[in-house]
Amino acid sequence: MTAPRIAALVVGPGGSHEAVAAQAPGAAAHPGPWPQALLAAADADWLWLVRGDTVPAAGALSELRRVAEGVPGLRPPALLASKVIGVDGRLDPGSAPWPPLHDRAGAMNAAEHRLAAVRIARWGSLLVRGDVLRRHAPPREDLAAADDLEWTGRLLREEPGYVVPTSLATRAPSARPSRLATLRAAASRDAWDTQERLWLVYASLLEGSRPSPSRNARTIVDRLSRLPRLVRR
Sign (positive or negative) of CA dihedral 183, 184, 185, 186: positive
45 and 74 co-located in one domain: yes
116 and 229 co-located in one domain: no
Position 124: which residue type? G
Please give the Cα distance from 32 to 82 (Å, whole number).
21
Determine the Cα angle at 183 with ends 155 and 203, to 5°.
Answer: 55
- What's residue 191's pLDDT? 44
In a domain, residue 165? The reply is: yes
In a domain, residue 13? The reply is: yes
40 and 118 co-located in one domain: yes
In a domain, residue 72? The reply is: yes
- What's residue 93's pLDDT? 84
**CA 222 to chain CA centroid, nearest Å:** 28
- What's residue 174's pLDDT? 63
CB atoms near residue 228 (< 10 Å) = 8
Q: Give first-to-last CA distance, the chain, whole Å.
A: 57
Residue 171 contacts residue 92 (beta carbons within 8 Å): yes
148 and 59 co-located in one domain: yes
The residue from 174, 202, 218 where one domain ends is: 174
State the total domains in the chain. 2
- DSSP strand pairing (46-51 vs 125-129): antiparallel
The residue range of the domain holding 211 is 192-233
- pLDDT tens-place values along the chain, 233 residues long: 577 889 999 999 888 999 999 999 999 999 888 888 888 777 889 999 999 999 999 999 999 999 999 999 999 999 999 999 999 899 888 888 888 878 888 899 999 999 999 999 999 999 999 999 888 888 887 776 778 888 898 899 889 999 999 999 999 876 455 555 555 555 554 444 454 555 555 454 444 444 444 455 555 555 555 555 433 33
Sign (positive or negative) of CA dihedral 34, 37, 38, 42: negative
- What's residue 232's pLDDT? 34
